[in-house]
Amino acid sequence: MKLSNVRTVLWKEVIDSLRDSRTIFLMIALPLIIYPALFTGLGYFERLVRKRQREAGVSVAVVNYTDAHELVEFLSVQEKFEVLLMPRLEGEGAADVVRGQVANVALVVPDGFDELVKAGTLAGLTVLYDGADMISVSGRDRVISLLREYGSEVVRSRLEGRGLDVSILDTMDIGTENVATAGEMGAFAVGTIVPFFLIILMCAGAQHTAIDVTVGEKERSTLETILASSASRTEVVFGKFVAVMLASLATAIMGLVGLLLTIYSGLSFMTDVGEGSLTISFSTVMILLLTLLPVMVFVAATFVAIGCFAKSIKEGQTYSSYFYMLIMLSAVVTIFPGFETGLTGYAVPLLGVLFLEKEILTGGFDIVHTCVALLSTLAIAVGALLVSVKLFSNEKVMFRV
């Protein structure tokens, strides 16, 4: 295989791609625009929702309120807590109060509730809420918390009535303290989301270019011209493959730049997760890109193979979209903690590299994990590349109609 022929094919594909304004937009402009807009928007709306939840009051309908005067009085004095007094309702009446959004939560009081409490007997209460309404769910949590507080006051009253010291109920004073530093919290936030979006960006850049340089040339009837040159089929495939890899790398870099700009601006929702400290050093960024090289090889080779097999651009886009979705579903696993499952998780192709990137971003580095993750992904990458060469060399596949 002559490297000069590979280089010629590569530059031909690169120049053709740069002449296409859509490619420039997809590889450079879109990653710089969409991800800052996405994360800034998520950050804004996340803060807005939390603010509204803090400021919004909770409305609770106390059904059969005449049997729970003291409880109603306790609830009525709570801040940002609206109590709606309702008589006893039969059947689904109490549930309809919540379904009809008359109140966020309904509290069903049993008959003789006050007498049961005074007698020291266990009294049951039912809290009705709408699980499809977040305000109702948060209201349920607040009502349950207040009911527990009311229960504690009832117990204290019972002890005082019997002349006992209520301090015996206070067993311990519990405090919480986060031992993770701000930098560690920032690394956790970045390590959770960045690997996922990097793989998505790489696929986005590779998909468009791979389809264009393979089945796109079939439809434009320019593929025959390349095959008539002195370059062998293997050299042509490698030239196109490297061009797809460069497109994938360019999209990932531009997306990473846009993502980092958003993070450092403080507008991203991850800023709150990381408690205000999100940093990625230049050396870490370079390590991330290096560890992604086997993934880039695999993604680029697979998209090229799909393009060689497809009859038309439409068919190629359909097949590549299914592969894209499979990659996305696999990458989602890395967002959730605890899926590494030791060395076995790192041995899974593609996923192992994403787990490795999370490890690097959170400050860890294990040479065994690195070797296992990179080699497993590189193995299937080489296999995908060999499949691309075989498909491209088979004229029955390349020129089938």
Instruction: Give residue 346's pLDDT.
Output: 80
- At 88-107, the pLDDT tens digits run 887 678 888 888 888 889 98
**What phi-psi label fits residue 349: left (phi over 0), alpha (psi between -120 and 50 degrees) or beta?**
beta
| Diameter of the chain measured on Cα atoms | 103
All structural domains of the chain, each given as residue ranges with its CATH number in brackets, are 3-44+183-398 (no CATH), 54-169 (3.40.1710.10)
What the block records as the tokens of 4 is 């000069």
Instruction: Give residue 219's pLDDT.
Output: 81
Residues of the chain below pLDDT 50: 273-276
Total-model pTM: 0.66
Instruction: Give residue 340's pLDDT.
Output: 57
Instruction: Give residue 264's pLDDT.
Output: 66
Instruction: Give residue 274's pLDDT.
Output: 47
